[in-house]
Amino acid sequence: MKATIGDKELNFPDNLKYSKQHQWWDADKKAVGITDYAQSQLGDIVMCDLVDAEGLELSAGDLIEDIAVEAQKAVADIYSPVNGSVASINQDLEDEPEKINEDPYGEGWLFKFDGATPADDLLDAAAYVEYIKSL
């Protein structure tokens, strides 16, 4: 689904679930990333440090201190939208952090999980759009 937020047209795929902390969860790919809205608010992402995340056991809602996504405007806090163990990280982002801006739901994914279960409070695309419009 596409939605206009402020003066920007943003994308929110219907097959994903979204957290109020602006992370998305793809149950098919077991992948997590930041939403199109979040990357648009951050601006140009200049650094992504994921090196210590592999193997972490996380609970839904946990702040992931081992992950740093830094933009010219701010540093993004990343929270886990699921319970599980980080299986792999997107190492391409260390050399090409701009992939998060260019393709947040594709090549800009942050990490993938083994045996993950999503949080109960994840939103579908329409509910997430309504949530960010209320901010």
- pLDDT mean by block of 10 residues, the chain; 135 residues: 92 98 97 97 93 87 88 90 95 95 97 92 98 95
The reported pLDDT for the residue numbered 53 is: 82
Tokens of 90: 């997107």
Identify whether the C-beta of residue 42 lies closer than 8 Å to the C-beta of residue 76.
Answer: yes
The reported pLDDT for the residue numbered 68 is: 84
The reported pLDDT for the residue numbered 73 is: 79
- C-alpha 80/C-alpha 106 separation (Å) is 18
Instruction: List the beta strands (DSSP E) in the chain.
Output: 2-5, 8-11, 17-18, 23-26, 31-34, 45-49, 57-58, 68-71, 75-76, 82-89, 111-118
Identify whether the C-beta of residue 110 lies closer than 8 Å to the C-beta of residue 50.
Answer: yes
The reported pLDDT for the residue numbered 6 is: 86
Domain definitions of the chain by residue range: 2-133
The secondary structure of the chain in percent helix, strand, coil, rounded to multiples of 5, reads 20, 35, 45
The reported pLDDT for the residue numbered 42 is: 94
pTM of the model: 0.93
Q: What's 79's DSSP letter?
A: B
Is 3.30.420.40 the CATH number for 2-133? Answer: no
The reported pLDDT for the residue numbered 29 is: 96
